Structure formats: C-alpha cells, structure tokens
Amino acid sequence: MQSRFRSDRRLTVRMGLTLFLLGLLYVGFVAALIVLLKSWVLVAVLVAAMFVAQFWFSDRIAMFAMRGRVVEREEYPELHAVVDRLCAIADMPKPVVAVSAMDMPNAFATGRNPDHAVVCVTTGLLRRLEPAELEGVLAHELSHVAHKDVAVITVASFLGVIAGLIVRFAFYSQVFGGGRRDQNTAAVFAAVIGVSVAVYALSFLLIRALSRYRELAADRAAAHLTGRPSALASALTKVSGDIARIPTEDLRTAQAFNAFYFTPATGRDPGIERFFSTHPTLGQRLEQLGRISAELGEAATPGKAG
C-alpha cells in the first residue's frame, strides 16, 4: 500500500544504488572468504545465519538494546492518539507503539516493512516535548517506515556486521584454536583481516552517506505531512540541546544505534567528522525546515512550535 507521505525519488535512487554497490562488495567479500578459509560451508552458514538474525529480528534486537517495551493505548493514550492520527492522514498501517525508559530524549523506528514496524519514543522525549513537537518527531519516524529506508539501512548494515564478526572470529580462532601456526596460516589470517577491514570501511562510508540523506528526506516528508515544519524544527532544537547536556558516559551505549535515532546521541554537533556521521548537522536540518516553512507560508518562525 502506498502511503501519502511525500515520495522522494532521490532517496529511492540512493537506496537502490547503495544496495547495488554493497551487493557487489558482498559478493566479492564472500568469494574472498571462501578462497581464504577454504570452506564455503562455513562461510555460507555464518553469513546466512547472521542475515536472518539481523533482518528478521532487527526490531527485537533494537528494542532490547534500547530498553523499549510495547505499550497499549490504556497506558499511553495521548501517544497512541498522535500515532493513530498521523497513520490515518498518511494512509499507512499503524506500527507497534513502544516506549523506552531512557532519560535521553529521542525516538527511533525499526522493522523489516510497514506491516512489521515499531516506533519507539523515550520517556525523556515525552516529558520534554509539546504535543505539536511530538507530532513532528513521530511523523519523521513514520516516514522512515513509509519510505522503507529502515529496512534498507538494516540490510545495508549487515555487511559491515559480518565483516566485523569475521575479524573477531579470525582473531579468536588464532588465539584459542591451537594447532600449528605456520607461515601459510599466518598469511591467511592476515588476508582475512585485511579483506574484512576494507569491506567494513567501504560499507561504513556508503551507509553513512545514505543515512544522512534519509534523515533530511524524513524531515521533508514529516514537514509536508503535518504542515508544521516549525514544530519539527523546535523539537530538533530542543532535543539536540538537551542531549548535549547529558554526560558523555551516559550516551555511549546509545551511540551504537545512532543510525536509527531521530537525533544522534553524540552530545554535540559534528565538526570534520560530519562526513562520517549518521545524521546531517542541526544547522542543515533547520535550514531545510526553514525553506519548507517559507514555501508553505507558515506563520511561525522555524525553531518555535506553532
């Protein structure tokens, strides 16, 4: 079913291109591992198991890691009401609604498709945002589901996960595997490490570039669906400012899931590292919302809820 979220052909093209390039990288990676490890069965079983786990259980993994739990309408009636209204406007299936007991104000969407999606907000976000701001954040997250970029990011990140696991597997097999470690074994070990590191680096860059664009696309779609870009801008400003005041040590666990968050748990706007960030800078996002506000003739000033 096609939702009424504003379509973004450039996002679709970028998702397709990223998956194509990662697919080529994936084929080469698996072929290299089979040659180096001399066991296509081992490689096939490992890759297949990890793909199934990440794609089919990504929502459960994310929910567990970020302490999210499914909540019913009786427990959070206002939250459910906003999601119901947005889904009705967007003409899309209602996702599972969840809440994470974290003080860090944030939200994320996960799931392999719109029929198996979860939208989760933290208690810190619910406590800090006004209703219009919350609506903007939820519209942003729902647009990720409607555009199917959540599933694409999940699949795209799979190769990097496999590369990282191969490095660890190769390392521990050498440390604890026993047996004779001759020059050939050392060469295979070094080759596996080298190939895995290269694959991880390339997939890292491709995924980050796609992630930054999909966040801008979600902001655009949410602003047009709600007709209130200033409320979304206000939420962005408020959430980013509050995250910056949270101690860094409290953000470290959440940073592993930055690609899925509404705003990255970095505590500051990136400098030169913005080229490796999962999100555009706050300035870029507010500038875009300001242009949309002007296009829509919105009376409120971006950065303040209307």
Q: Could you tell me which residues are beta bridge partners of residue 98?
A: 70, 120
- Of 74, 141, 273, 287, which one is the catalytic site residue? 141
Question: CB-hemisphere CA count at 13 Å for 177?
Answer: 13
The dihedrals phi and psi of 101, each to the nearest 5 degrees, come to -80, 65
Question: CB-hemisphere CA count at 13 Å for 119?
Answer: 27
**Helix axes of 229-244 and 183-226: crossing angle, nearest 10 degrees:** 140
Question: CB-hemisphere CA count at 13 Å for 183?
Answer: 0
Determine the Cα–Cα distance for residues 83 and 225; give it in Å rounded to an integer: 13
Please say whether the beta carbons of 66 and 104 come within 8 A: no
Determine the Cα–Cα distance for residues 250 and 112; give it in Å rounded to an integer: 29
147 is in an annotated binding site: no
75 is in an annotated binding site: no
Determine the Cα–Cα distance for residues 192 and 90; give it in Å rounded to an integer: 47
Listed residue (87, 197, 105, 186) closest to 142, CA to CA = 87
Q: Quick check: is 273 catalytic?
A: no
Matching residue, tokens 């507010």: 286
144 is in an annotated binding site: yes
Matching residue, tokens 């009424």: 4
SS3 of residue 221 by DSSP: helix
Determine the Cα–Cα distance for residues 76 and 235; give it in Å rounded to an integer: 20
Beta strands in 50-185, from DSSP E residues, in sequence order: 68-70, 96-100, 107-111, 117-122
Q: What residues are annotated to the active site?
A: 141
| Residue numbers belonging to the annotated binding site | 140, 144, 215
